[in-house]
């Protein structure tokens, strides 16, 4: 379980989460979650989200293709940053 946590300059240690490069840099871009962001999310799952543009790319690719991975360029954030990003999106 140690690998499920990440150090964050703003929040200290938090649960690992992933967001697309676009969400990390912008706001009001849409917010599509792979799993519902329930605080009781299963331990084997991670918070993951991407923007409207990445959702369209997912609908086109329908798989974790190299094109999709390059377009989303997922970034690691802590769970508190994830929810901050969700609020501004």
Alpha helices per DSSP H over the chain: 21-25, 52-61, 66-72, 79-88
Place of tokens 């954030």: 77
CB 34 within 8 A of CB 49: yes
Per-residue pLDDT of 9-51, as tens digits, reads 999 999 999 999 999 988 899 999 987 766 666 767 789 999 9
pTM of the model: 0.86
CB 39 within 8 A of CB 17: no
Structure tokens, 73:
């360029």
């Amino acid at each position: 379980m140690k690998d499920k946590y990440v150090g964050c300059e703003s929040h200290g240690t938090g649960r690992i989460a992933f967001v697309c490069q676009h969400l990390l840099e912008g706001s009001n871009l849409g917010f599509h979650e792979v799993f519902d962001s329930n605080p009781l999310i299963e331990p084997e799952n991670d918070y993951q989200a991407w923007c409207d543009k990445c959702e369209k790319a997912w609908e086109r690719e329908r798989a974790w293709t190299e094109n999709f991975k390059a377009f989303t360029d997922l970034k690691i954030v802590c769970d508190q940053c994830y929810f901050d990003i969700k609020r501004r999106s």
